[in-house]
Amino acid sequence: MRPFANAETYRGVPGTRGWVVAPVRRLSDPAPQGRYILVAQDLTPTDTAALDLALVAGFCTADGGPTSHTVQVAHGLGIPAVVAAGTGILTLRPGTLCALDGDGGLLHAGLDGQDLQAATAHEREQDERDRLRREAALAAGPAPGGVTLSTTFVKPSQAAQLAHSGASGIGLLATELLFLGREADITDEAAHHRAYRDLAQTVGEAEITVRTLDIGGDKPVPALNLPKEDNSFLGVRGIRLALRRPDDLLIPQLRALYRVAAGGGRLRIMFPMVTTVEEFTRAAEIAEDVRARIRAPRVPLGVMVEVPACALAVDRFVAHVDFLSIGTNDLTQYLLAASRTNPALARDIDPLHVAVNRTVGHVTDTAHAAGVPVTACGGLAASPVGSAVLASLGISGLTVTLPAIPAVHEALTRLDHDARQAVRHEALTTGGTPHLTEHVTALLGL
C-alpha cells in the first residue's frame, strides 16, 4: 500500500508480515486502552516472547535486523514487525495513530480522516484474505509436489493449534526459547523433561524435531556465566558450547528427550551450528550412550546446515546423519558476512542471494543422491516467494510459523513442474530478493 499523503512515514526493513492500525507506545509509556504498536530501540528475544499478545498488535524497532532471533520470535507469535527504522520512531508521541506495514517495512504515523479510514479498511481486507487462506489450506490438505509443511512456535501453549493448522508436525523445536525468562532452568533435566513430555502429549502422533540448545549469538543466557566474546556469532555457540559443557548442557537435555521417546513420544534430534563431521559423531556417540542407559528406542539424528563449512562439505555428512535441515537465517549471515542483528546491514542481508541459492542447491543435490531428506527453516521458508524458491531447489520439507502456513501452502499449490524449473533457473543464475520476488510473484500470481 502506498504511503499516505498526510502521514509521516518511517522506512525500515520488513521483519514480519502483516498490517495493523493502532496507537503507538514505548515500554516506558503509560499503557493505553486497547491494543497498540510498540516502538523501541530494540527488543531481545526474551522481551519479544514476553509480549502480551492481547495488547501488542505489532512492533517497530529503531535497530535490529530482519533475520534476528527477535524477528524469528515475532514470526512464531504472529506479530507484524518492522526493524531498523531509525531513532525517529522514538520521538513519536504516545497514542499517535499509526499503520504498521510489515510487508513493506514501513510505519505510517499520524493517521486521521480519510487516511485512517483507508488504513483501517486495508487491515480488514487483509484479515479477510488471511481467513480465506486458512480455510483453503485446511480444505486442500497436504501441500502438493511432495513438500511437507511443518511448524515452529515460541510459546508451548501454541502447540494446541497444530491439529487445526494444516501442519504435519513440529519441524523445529528451538529448545532454548522454551526457557526465555527462566534461564536458570536450562540445565535442569526435570524441567526439560516436563517441557518435552507436555508437548508430546499435546501433539499426539505428530513428530517433533528437537534442536538441542543453541546458546550464543543474540541469545545469551546470563545464568550460565559464559565469558564475553568479541563476536558471539563466531564464538562458542550451539554444538561447540554443548560439547564443551556436556555434563550440564548436553547430557541432561538428551536424557530428558530419550525419556520422552521411551514414553512413546515421536522425536527427531538435531544438533545446531555443526562445522565438522567429528562434532556430529561425537554428539551422536553421547546420544547413543544416553539412549542405551535409558533403554529408549532409537530416534533419527540430524544436523542443522547453517555454517558454510558444513554446507560445502555436506558429502562428508550424508553417510552419518539421518536427515539435514538448512537454517536459512544463519547460513545467509555467514555466507554474506553480514550480521543478522546489525541495523546498518539490514538492507544488505539477502536470503535469496545467488550464492545462498547455489549453496542450498548443492546441499539438496548431494543429500538426495545419498537418500538423505533435507528440510529448511527460517524466515525464508515462511514467505510465499521464499518457500517457492526453496521447493524449486529441492527442499522436501519446510518448517514455517503457524501464521505463515496458509500463504506458503497457497504458493506451493501454484508451483507446478514447469514453474519449478523456471524458478530454479532464475534462483541459480540471477538470484536476489528483488528479482525473484518480482519473478515468482508474477509467475505464480501471488
From the list 60, 98, 310, 377, the catalytic residue is 377
- Cβ(166)–Cβ(149) below 8 Å: yes
From the list 69, 75, 353, 409, the catalytic residue is 69
- Cβ(320)–Cβ(289) below 8 Å: no
Contacts of 308 (CB under 8 A, 6+ apart): 331, 334, 335, 359
Phi-psi category of residue 35: left, alpha or beta, with phi > 0 → left and psi -120 to 50 → alpha: beta
- Cβ(23)–Cβ(37) below 8 Å: yes
C-alpha cell belonging to residue 37: 504498536
In the residue annotation, 310 being an active-site residue is answered as no
Q: Partners of 19 in the beta sheet?
A: 101
Diameter of the chain by CA atoms?
69
The residue count of the chain comes to: 446
336-371 burial: b if 16+ Cβ within 10 Å, else e: bebbbbbbebbeebbbbbbebbbbbbbbbebbeeee
Phi-psi category of residue 44: left, alpha or beta, with phi > 0 → left and psi -120 to 50 → alpha: beta
Q: Which residue type, as a one-letter code, is found at position 269?
A: I
For residue 47, CA distances in Å to 57, 394, 410 come to: 15, 36, 32
Dihedral sign computed on CA atoms, order 369, 373, 379, 385: positive
In the residue annotation, 362 being an active-site residue is answered as no
Residues catalogued as catalytic = 69, 377
